[in-house]
Structure 1
Amino acid sequence: MLMFVLVMVAVVVVIVAAVLVIGFGQRGGRGLEKRFGPEYGHAVQLHGGDAKAAEAELGERVRRHGSLEERSLTPDLRERYRAQWARIQENFVESPDKAVAEADMLLSRLAEDRGFPPGDQFDDQMAALSVHHSEHVRGYRDLHATAQGRGSTEEMREAMIRARGLVTALTTGQPAPSARHRPHHREGRDAAPQAPGGHHAKGSTL
């Protein structure tokens, strides 16, 4: 009888432990998905649909970079970055390749000035940015890819538009407004890059 009771107790302990482990894993997964947003889906895709492997990687990113404190920019440096970005956008019309390359280098330097890993360690810089600016890292990733010569003019234009969200977040300390809150037409320094020929491609106005 005593042996039966001991066996039952052991079974109950194993079941409770399993339930707790599963529940913790689910909460951890939901927490990571909420924290990383679209970047969570990107990580799962990179791991061939393996959510557990993706969550392990994202958890490692948080462990390594979660305590990073972003440095403030001086007012002069902030305005310099904004002016440089505006100039790059204007030059996109005449030379998309050059503009994208310059935009990639600007974001690399800007992130480093804000306290993120240096740009020559792109993967590490991207991982840290994804922890603190997950909504905007896709634009930087796409921009970096097109700067390596992987993308059409239209893809470069779209990458420039998406990357602007990270530029805004890093120069203001605030996230860029979502698409549904942006004005339909913007002129001047914040205007979207135009396709060669001086015309906005479809969907380019923000």
Structure 2
Amino acid sequence: MTAVIVIIVVVVVLALAGGGLALARRKRSQQLQEQFGPEYDRAVEKSDSKSEAEKELASRRKRHAELDLRSLDPQTRERFRGDWKQVQGEFVDDPGGAVEKADSLVTTIMRERGYPVEDFDRRADDISVEHPRVVENYREARRVRDAHRNGSAGTEDLRGAVTSYRSLVDALLDEGSDRGGHDDGSHGDGRHRDDEGRHRDEPRGSGDERGRDDRVRDEGAGNGRQEREADGPSADGAHDHDGSRR
């Protein structure tokens, strides 16, 4: 009788331990999904198993926690914003050059923040911990940069790459805007991205400017005058035709 009781106790203990382990695994999975968002799904797709993917993501998180990341002082932040304005301003005349400079600027900002920058895949993994949505823009922008070097990237591809780099520059300068897997599309300074993650002030080309609203009539004026609604603010600030700042 005693042996039977012992066996029952052991079975119950093992069942409870197994249930606790399963609960801990579910909780860990939920936490990783919430933190990494789409990056979690990407890791699972690339891995042989869900457990392997979660192990890799947990490793990223642990490694990121050990980084000595620094906040940027206001002067440095504004300097980098000025550098970005220059990059975007050069897009019309030299789209490929603007992409190259955008990629270099991102690396410079990461180095200034304290990220290891020797390897691109490592940079992307480190970025994904705090910016799991923006990091895919980074990968796509780098893909276009490489395609440009091979002569297989068109102007629209380059335009998209600069816009993608912009999202990462914003994330790195507006620290914490995408942390914890929560991203409402804002950048801390009132600007927002549209549904595709592209900025409304994306670089514009000559002759085929994008993002302009249709012409609308001023019905109240009654004089047939047409006005074109302005674009969103450009990187260096836009002005109306009369010289006043919008």
Give the TM interval when normalised to the shorter protein.
0.7 to 0.9
Match of 1:191 among 198, 201, 204: 201
Q: Which residue identity lines up with residue 37 of structure 2 in the other structure?
A: G
CA distance in 1, matches of 2:193, 2:134: 19
Match of 1:123 among 121, 124, 132: 121
| 1:80-116, Cα deviation, whole Å (9 max, x unpaired) | 2112212222222333222112111110110110111
Match of 2:165 among 158, 163, 166: 163
Relative contact order (alpha carbons < 8 A, sep ≥ 6): 1 or 2 greater? 1
CA distance in 2, matches of 1:157, 1:182: 18
Pair 1:155–1:46, CA change in 2 (3 A) = farther
Asked if residue 3 in structure 1 is aligned to residue 41 in structure 2, the reply is no
Q: Which residue of 2 aligns with 1:25?
A: 25
1:29-40 correspondence to structure 2 within 5 Å: 29-40=29-40
| 1:144-187, Cα deviation, whole Å (9 max, x unpaired) | 221111754433322322332221122232527617x7388xxx
In structure 2, runs of 5+ residues without a counterpart are 179-183, 195-199, 214-230, 233-246
Residue 138 of structure 1 contacts residue 163 of structure 1 at CA under 8 Å; is this kept in 2? no
Asked if residue 141 in structure 1 is aligned to residue 143 in structure 2, the reply is no
Q: Which residue identity lines up with residue 125 of structure 2 in the other structure?
A: A
Share of identical aligned residues, percent?
Answer: 31
Greater C-alpha radius of gyration: 2
Asked if residue 13 in structure 1 is aligned to residue 13 in structure 2, the reply is yes
Bigger helix share: 1
CA distance in 2, matches of 1:69, 1:43: 25
